[in-house]
Amino acid sequence: MEKKKNELAVVQNFNMMTISGDLAEAIAEEMDGLGPIPFDRVKIPSGGGLVFEVPGEDEGNPETAGELVGAILYHHPVNAYWIEKFSGGNEPPDCFSMDGKQGVLRETGEIINCADCPHNKFGSGGLGKSCKNVHRVYILREDNPIPIILSLPPTSLKYMRDYIGKQILLKGMRCYDAVTKITLRKEKNAAGIAYSRAVFTFVGKLPEEQRAAAAKMADMIKQSDKNLEDADYSAAPPAGRQASDGAGFMNVPDGIDEDLPFA
Protein backbone atom coordinates (compact mmCIF):
# COMPACT_ATOMS: atom_id res chain seq x y z
CA MET A 1 0.00 0.00 0.00
CA GLU A 2 1.40 3.39 -0.96
CA LYS A 3 1.96 5.96 1.74
CA LYS A 4 -0.47 8.86 1.40
CA LYS A 5 0.87 12.35 0.83
CA ASN A 6 1.85 14.04 4.13
CA GLU A 7 1.41 10.72 5.96
CA LEU A 8 4.14 10.29 8.56
CA ALA A 9 6.58 7.44 8.14
CA VAL A 10 6.36 4.80 10.88
CA VAL A 11 9.60 3.46 12.33
CA GLN A 12 9.10 -0.31 12.33
CA ASN A 13 12.58 -1.44 13.36
CA PHE A 14 13.08 0.59 16.56
CA ASN A 15 13.65 -1.95 19.34
CA MET A 16 12.14 -0.07 22.26
CA MET A 17 12.49 -1.58 25.71
CA THR A 18 10.46 -0.31 28.67
CA ILE A 19 10.38 -1.08 32.37
CA SER A 20 7.48 -3.51 32.54
CA GLY A 21 6.62 -7.13 33.21
CA ASP A 22 9.45 -9.31 34.57
CA LEU A 23 11.96 -6.45 34.36
CA ALA A 24 9.77 -4.16 36.49
CA GLU A 25 9.32 -6.94 39.04
CA ALA A 26 13.05 -7.68 39.16
CA ILE A 27 13.93 -4.01 39.61
CA ALA A 28 11.40 -3.58 42.41
CA GLU A 29 12.81 -6.61 44.23
CA GLU A 30 16.54 -6.11 43.69
CA MET A 31 16.57 -2.34 44.21
CA ASP A 32 14.46 -2.42 47.37
CA GLY A 33 16.20 -0.19 49.90
CA LEU A 34 18.75 1.02 47.35
CA GLY A 35 16.64 3.61 45.59
CA PRO A 36 15.85 3.91 41.87
CA ILE A 37 18.29 3.04 39.11
CA PRO A 38 20.08 6.33 38.32
CA PHE A 39 19.78 7.78 34.84
CA ASP A 40 22.99 8.30 32.87
CA ARG A 41 23.68 11.91 31.92
CA VAL A 42 24.98 13.08 28.58
CA LYS A 43 27.10 16.18 28.25
CA ILE A 44 27.23 18.64 25.37
CA PRO A 45 30.94 19.40 24.81
CA SER A 46 32.48 22.82 25.13
CA GLY A 47 34.43 24.59 22.42
CA GLY A 48 32.23 23.52 19.53
CA GLY A 49 32.80 19.77 19.79
CA LEU A 50 30.57 17.57 17.64
CA VAL A 51 30.31 14.43 19.79
CA PHE A 52 28.37 13.77 22.97
CA GLU A 53 30.04 12.32 26.05
CA VAL A 54 28.00 9.28 27.06
CA PRO A 55 28.70 7.26 30.25
CA GLY A 56 29.84 3.72 29.47
CA GLU A 57 30.28 0.56 31.52
CA ASP A 58 33.65 1.85 32.72
CA GLU A 59 32.88 4.84 34.94
CA GLY A 60 36.28 6.39 34.35
CA ASN A 61 36.15 6.12 30.55
CA PRO A 62 33.02 7.67 29.05
CA GLU A 63 32.09 6.82 25.48
CA THR A 64 31.42 9.29 22.69
CA ALA A 65 28.54 9.45 20.22
CA GLY A 66 27.97 11.64 17.21
CA GLU A 67 24.20 11.37 17.60
CA LEU A 68 21.51 10.45 20.11
CA VAL A 69 18.50 8.60 18.69
CA GLY A 70 15.37 7.76 20.64
CA ALA A 71 12.01 8.91 21.96
CA ILE A 72 11.93 12.11 24.03
CA LEU A 73 9.83 10.94 26.97
CA TYR A 74 9.78 14.14 28.97
CA HIS A 75 11.49 17.52 29.21
CA HIS A 76 11.37 20.46 31.60
CA PRO A 77 13.36 23.50 32.77
CA VAL A 78 15.62 23.31 35.82
CA ASN A 79 16.88 26.31 37.82
CA ALA A 80 19.64 26.30 40.43
CA TYR A 81 21.13 29.11 42.52
CA TRP A 82 24.24 29.11 44.73
CA ILE A 83 24.89 31.92 47.20
CA GLU A 84 28.61 31.35 46.80
CA LYS A 85 29.96 31.28 43.24
CA PHE A 86 29.33 27.88 41.62
CA SER A 87 32.63 26.01 41.41
CA GLY A 88 31.54 23.32 38.95
CA GLY A 89 31.35 20.49 41.48
CA ASN A 90 28.30 18.59 42.69
CA GLU A 91 27.52 20.66 45.78
CA PRO A 92 23.76 21.16 46.27
CA PRO A 93 22.44 24.60 45.30
CA ASP A 94 20.97 26.90 47.92
CA CYS A 95 17.79 27.17 45.87
CA PHE A 96 16.56 24.61 43.33
CA SER A 97 13.59 24.39 40.99
CA MET A 98 12.52 21.30 39.04
CA ASP A 99 10.00 23.15 36.89
CA GLY A 100 11.57 26.57 36.34
CA LYS A 101 8.58 28.13 38.09
CA GLN A 102 8.92 27.51 41.83
CA GLY A 103 12.18 27.13 43.71
CA VAL A 104 12.80 25.71 47.18
CA LEU A 105 15.33 27.25 49.55
CA ARG A 106 17.44 24.36 50.88
CA GLU A 107 18.00 25.87 54.33
CA THR A 108 14.44 26.92 55.19
CA GLY A 109 12.18 25.08 52.73
CA GLU A 110 10.64 28.39 51.67
CA ILE A 111 8.97 28.38 48.25
CA ILE A 112 10.24 31.04 45.83
CA ASN A 113 8.46 32.23 42.68
CA CYS A 114 11.17 32.01 39.99
CA ALA A 115 9.57 34.69 37.81
CA ASP A 116 9.82 37.23 40.65
CA CYS A 117 13.18 36.15 42.10
CA PRO A 118 15.89 38.84 41.77
CA HIS A 119 18.54 36.14 41.23
CA ASN A 120 16.67 35.00 38.11
CA LYS A 121 16.84 38.44 36.48
CA PHE A 122 19.34 39.59 33.88
CA GLY A 123 22.06 41.64 35.49
CA SER A 124 21.97 39.71 38.78
CA GLY A 125 25.16 37.86 37.76
CA GLY A 126 27.11 40.48 35.86
CA LEU A 127 25.54 40.68 32.40
CA GLY A 128 23.74 37.41 32.97
CA LYS A 129 21.84 35.73 35.79
CA SER A 130 22.94 34.48 39.19
CA CYS A 131 20.46 31.62 38.78
CA LYS A 132 21.54 28.88 36.38
CA ASN A 133 18.89 27.76 33.88
CA VAL A 134 19.04 24.58 31.78
CA HIS A 135 16.45 22.32 30.15
CA ARG A 136 16.44 18.63 31.07
CA VAL A 137 15.52 16.14 28.32
CA TYR A 138 14.82 12.43 28.94
CA ILE A 139 15.60 10.22 25.95
CA LEU A 140 14.69 6.52 25.66
CA ARG A 141 17.15 4.94 23.23
CA GLU A 142 16.93 1.63 21.43
CA ASP A 143 17.70 -1.57 23.37
CA ASN A 144 17.86 0.25 26.72
CA PRO A 145 14.90 0.60 29.14
CA ILE A 146 16.64 3.28 31.22
CA PRO A 147 16.41 6.79 29.73
CA ILE A 148 19.40 9.10 29.50
CA ILE A 149 19.28 12.75 30.55
CA LEU A 150 20.53 15.49 28.23
CA SER A 151 20.83 18.94 29.82
CA LEU A 152 20.48 21.61 27.17
CA PRO A 153 22.04 25.05 27.53
CA PRO A 154 19.97 28.08 26.46
CA THR A 155 21.62 28.29 23.03
CA SER A 156 19.89 25.04 22.01
CA LEU A 157 16.43 25.74 23.36
CA LYS A 158 14.95 27.75 20.51
CA TYR A 159 15.88 24.89 18.15
CA MET A 160 14.18 22.37 20.41
CA ARG A 161 11.12 24.63 20.59
CA ASP A 162 10.94 24.92 16.81
CA TYR A 163 11.34 21.17 16.39
CA ILE A 164 8.66 20.23 18.93
CA GLY A 165 6.27 22.92 17.73
CA LYS A 166 6.56 22.30 13.99
CA GLN A 167 7.65 18.67 13.65
CA ILE A 168 5.79 17.14 16.60
CA LEU A 169 2.81 19.10 17.92
CA LEU A 170 1.52 20.50 14.63
CA LYS A 171 1.55 16.96 13.25
CA GLY A 172 -0.72 15.74 16.03
CA MET A 173 1.94 13.97 18.10
CA ARG A 174 3.60 14.18 21.47
CA CYS A 175 7.37 13.89 21.83
CA TYR A 176 7.13 10.28 23.05
CA ASP A 177 5.21 9.32 19.89
CA ALA A 178 8.25 9.84 17.68
CA VAL A 179 11.85 8.80 17.19
CA THR A 180 14.11 11.87 17.27
CA LYS A 181 17.74 12.22 16.28
CA ILE A 182 19.88 14.81 18.09
CA THR A 183 23.24 15.88 16.69
CA LEU A 184 25.58 18.80 17.33
CA ARG A 185 26.53 21.81 15.23
CA LYS A 186 29.42 24.17 15.83
CA GLU A 187 28.46 27.83 16.20
CA LYS A 188 30.19 31.03 17.34
CA ASN A 189 28.83 33.84 19.45
CA ALA A 190 29.37 37.55 18.78
CA ALA A 191 32.67 37.42 20.65
CA GLY A 192 33.93 34.66 18.37
CA ILE A 193 33.76 31.94 21.02
CA ALA A 194 32.89 28.52 19.58
CA TYR A 195 30.15 26.45 21.19
CA SER A 196 28.02 23.41 20.38
CA ARG A 197 24.28 23.58 19.93
CA ALA A 198 21.81 20.76 19.46
CA VAL A 199 20.16 19.90 16.12
CA PHE A 200 16.85 17.99 16.24
CA THR A 201 15.69 15.78 13.36
CA PHE A 202 12.43 13.86 13.04
CA VAL A 203 13.14 10.21 12.17
CA GLY A 204 9.62 8.80 12.18
CA LYS A 205 6.54 7.92 14.19
CA LEU A 206 6.54 4.96 16.55
CA PRO A 207 4.04 2.12 15.96
CA GLU A 208 0.84 2.45 17.98
CA GLU A 209 1.79 -0.23 20.53
CA GLN A 210 5.17 1.39 21.18
CA ARG A 211 3.58 4.84 21.49
CA ALA A 212 1.32 3.54 24.25
CA ALA A 213 4.29 1.99 26.08
CA ALA A 214 6.32 5.18 25.70
CA ALA A 215 3.45 7.23 27.12
CA LYS A 216 3.43 5.04 30.24
CA MET A 217 7.20 5.46 30.57
CA ALA A 218 6.79 9.22 30.22
CA ASP A 219 4.33 9.23 33.11
CA MET A 220 6.78 7.21 35.24
CA ILE A 221 9.52 9.74 34.50
CA LYS A 222 7.30 12.65 35.51
CA GLN A 223 6.64 11.03 38.87
CA SER A 224 10.21 9.94 39.61
CA ASP A 225 11.67 13.30 38.57
CA LYS A 226 10.09 14.97 41.57
CA ASN A 227 13.02 13.65 43.63
CA LEU A 228 15.40 16.59 43.96
CA GLU A 229 18.15 14.44 45.43
CA ASP A 230 18.90 12.98 42.00
CA ALA A 231 19.82 16.35 40.51
CA ASP A 232 23.06 16.67 38.57
CA TYR A 233 24.18 20.10 39.66
CA SER A 234 27.35 20.00 37.58
CA ALA A 235 25.20 20.22 34.43
CA ALA A 236 24.24 23.80 35.22
CA PRO A 237 26.07 26.30 32.99
CA PRO A 238 27.93 29.40 34.09
CA ALA A 239 25.85 32.54 34.52
CA GLY A 240 23.80 32.24 31.35
CA ARG A 241 21.65 34.83 29.67
CA GLN A 242 18.42 32.93 29.31
CA ALA A 243 14.83 33.89 30.03
CA SER A 244 11.52 32.07 30.26
CA ASP A 245 8.91 32.65 27.60
CA GLY A 246 6.15 31.30 29.82
CA ALA A 247 5.69 28.12 27.80
CA GLY A 248 8.32 25.92 29.38
CA PHE A 249 11.19 27.03 27.14
CA MET A 250 13.96 29.49 27.94
CA ASN A 251 15.09 31.84 25.21
CA VAL A 252 18.03 34.15 24.75
CA PRO A 253 16.86 37.75 24.31
CA ASP A 254 17.89 39.37 21.06
CA GLY A 255 21.17 41.25 21.15
CA ILE A 256 22.55 39.40 24.17
CA ASP A 257 25.43 36.98 23.79
CA GLU A 258 25.99 33.77 25.71
CA ASP A 259 28.67 33.13 28.31
CA LEU A 260 30.20 30.21 26.48
CA PRO A 261 31.45 27.56 26.46
CA PHE A 262 29.15 25.89 28.96
CA ALA A 263 30.33 23.38 31.53
pLDDT in tens, 199-248: 999 999 999 999 999 999 999 888 876 554 444 444 444 333 333 333 23
Domain boundaries along the sequence of the chain: 21-251
Furthest CA-CA distance within the chain: 63
| Residue 4, pLDDT score | 57
Report the predicted TM-score, pTM, of the whole model to 2 decimal places: 0.79
| Residue 104, pLDDT score | 94
Provide the CA 182 distance to its chain's centre, in angstroms.
Answer: 12
| Residue 259, pLDDT score | 34
| Residue 2, pLDDT score | 52
| Residue 243, pLDDT score | 32
A 10 A CB-CB count for 224 gives 14
Q: Extract the residue ranges of the chain whose pLDDT is less than 70.
A: 1-6, 86-90, 127, 225-263
A 10 A CB-CB count for 186 gives 13
Closest CA to 213 of 94, 3, 73, 55: 73
The beta strand positions in 82-211, using DSSP E, are: 95-97, 102-105, 111-113, 132-141, 148-152, 178-188, 194-205
